[in-house]
Amino acid sequence: MLMSDEYKNHHYVPQWYQKKFILPEESEFFYLNMAPEYFNDPRGVRHQIKNVKRQGSKKSFVERNLYTRKLAKVESVDIEKYFFGEIDRKGQEAVKYFEEYSYELPLKNWGDNFDYMMDYMSTQKLRTPKGLGWLSNKIETNNKYLVLNSMLKLARLHCAIWTEAVWLIADASKSDTKFIVSDHPITVYNREYGPRSDMCKNCNDPDIWLNGTHTIFPLSLDKVLILTNLSWVRNPYQSAIRLRPNWNPFRGAIFKFTDIQVMRYLSEQEVREINFIIKSRAMQYIAGAKEDWLYPEKYVSKSNWNTFGHGYLLMPDPRGVTFSGTLMWGNADGKSGGAVDEYGFKPWEEGFEDKKRQNEWNTFNNFQGEFANLFGPGRRGRAFNTMQLDNERDSNDFHQYHLSLQKKKYKDRNKK
């Protein structure tokens, strides 16, 4: 009985991941129920059950029989025991790898860890109660067996889009406030869909294949992975809710490790704004190492949703993003090879090197100028574009060049 019961308490947020948000000297965090229950006392007076508890990972983000399937009269726990077991084991390695990611260290096993990370993140987005609810809406059924089967089939649904995104690993080590964790750890944010919008109600989430949707994944108390669509970095002046080029998720994609941006140090207000997004997109529960961190709304207003960080809170630094195009390769036989453009289109596909995207070069340069004007010459994220880490600051000439682009943009706009 013990063995069969072992796999029926289903942590939809793995315990090893939860523990990354507990202080090193502690064994518990503060766990907030944002939809607390009520009870009536003997006099018939209604009371709210305390909505914040101190508890450990064993009792947190867990639901009994969430993944248990009934086949006739037999219960199957294979999803929890085998499917998630392997993904979580490899995912734990990958999350630690990217938490500690640095160009100063040897890039060992980067290919494996990237694959493990994509598998873990994509599955994690689907396996929560919110994710399963979203999937249920998409396939238009409440049949638990069909929803779970769809989760298994669509486990890699998000991988291609995230592979082609611009990756930023941001750092909260200089902030007194640290990251919280929610019951839906793979959080998405689109500045055009605020917390009150229909796209954000109940189990709904803005799709990751919309231009302006960022994906937020806290790696630990101090680190967060932020993924941004390349089309949004090149042109944040377009519609944030329009589909990105080649939005089809069911395909392969190519990732370039040297484009990952690191060394973006967040201010305390920026950490609070990210925590506010995480809390706003949670289904019911969040947890944090300190109780005050559970209430970012004390410092952040919902009405500022689309203007966090001048609207660019989650943006990688565009000055560290290369404007690359089609990638071509050949094999040793001199006969076979291939090509793919920056949005994953193959030469025979409609959209390959689409001339309609020529304006991206201008918008990208304008955005670099705007970013330099807003945040100054100090880089807000550094990549490894020229086989060495980008400079911490723009040279004076480089900075003035970007500012001149911004001035030209306003001059052209005024002429119109």
Q: Which of 111-120, 203-212, 331-340 has the lowest mean pLDDT?
A: 331-340
Closest CA to 212 of 234, 181, 195: 234
> Residue 184: CB partners within 8 Å, gap ≥ 6?
125, 128, 130, 131, 281, 282, 283
In the chain, pLDDT over 70 holds for what percent of residues?
Answer: 89
Q: In the predicted model, what is the mean pLDDT of residues 75-80?
A: 62
Distance CA(360)–CA(318), nearest Å, equals: 13
Under 8 Å between Cβ of 320 and 390: yes
Confidence check: pLDDT of 288 > 50 = yes
Q: What is the mean pLDDT of residues 129-143?
A: 95
Q: Which region, left, alpha or beta, applies to residue 204 given φ > 0 means left and ψ of -120 to 50 means alpha?
A: beta
Rounded average pLDDT over 392-396: 89
| Residue-level pLDDT at 1 | 33
CA distance 391 to 399: 12
Confidence of residue 334 (pLDDT cuts 50, 70, 90): low
In eight-state DSSP terms, residue 225 is E
Report the C-alpha gap between 142 and 290 in whole angstroms: 37
Q: Do the beta carbons of residue 229 and residue 213 sit within 8 Å?
A: yes
Q: What is the mean pLDDT of the chain?
A: 89
User: pTM of the entire structure?
Assistant: 0.92
Q: How far is 123 from 115, CA to CA, in rounded Å?
A: 12
Q: How confident is the model at residue 172 (pLDDT cuts 50, 70, 90)?
A: very high
Residue 412 token pair: 């052209």
Q: What is the pLDDT of residue 165?
A: 97
Confidence check: pLDDT of 300 > 60 = yes
pLDDT band at 46 (very low <50, low <70, confident <90, very high): confident
335 — pLDDT class (breaks 50, 70, 90) = low
